[in-house]
């Protein structure tokens, strides 16, 4: 039996992708996200990104709706307004309100 040509191997692979309803997923992400994925992969000895992403999807799904919710929650950044900034904003607002009050009390010309 002769070795298959590259075209024959490519055709067989393409036919198998169609048969298995395989679709390529592409995702662009920034350095921080890639760092997190690389760290996850290192923790678990995974060398292929596609394998890591596939395992994350399958494992998150296995947790069910409630169990997977924390993993799929959008991280929100909380900001606590420093007291000095709050005080400055309050003082500027009070000054503006007083100015508006004085303007409203002026007699009409």
pLDDT digits (tens, 9 = 90+) for 45-58: 999 999 999 999 99
Return d(Cα 105, Cα 103) in angstroms, integer. 5
Residue 104's pLDDT is what?
81
- Rounded to whole angstroms, what are the CA distances from 12 to 1, 6, 9, 21? 17, 10, 5, 14
Instruction: Let me know: does 40 contact 52? Beta carbons within 8 Å.
Output: yes
What's the pTM value of the predicted model, to 2 decimals? 0.57
Q: According to the model, what pLDDT value does residue 108 have?
A: 67
Which residue carries 């760092």 as its tokens?
A: 35
């Amino acid at each position: 039996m002769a070795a298959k040509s590259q075209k024959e191997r490519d055709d067989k692979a393409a036919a198998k992708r169609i048969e298995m309803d395989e679709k390529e997923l592409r995702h662009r992400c920034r350095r921080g996200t890639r760092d997190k994925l690389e760290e996850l992969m290192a923790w678990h000895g995974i060398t292929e990104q596609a394998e890591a992403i596939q395992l994350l999807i399958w494992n998150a799904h296995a947790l069910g709706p409630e169990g997977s919710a924390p993993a799929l929650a959008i991280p929100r950044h909380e900001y606590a307004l420093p007291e000095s900034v709050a005080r400055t904003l309050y003082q500027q607002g009070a000054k503006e309100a007083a100015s508006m009050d004085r303007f409203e009390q002026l007699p009409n010309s």
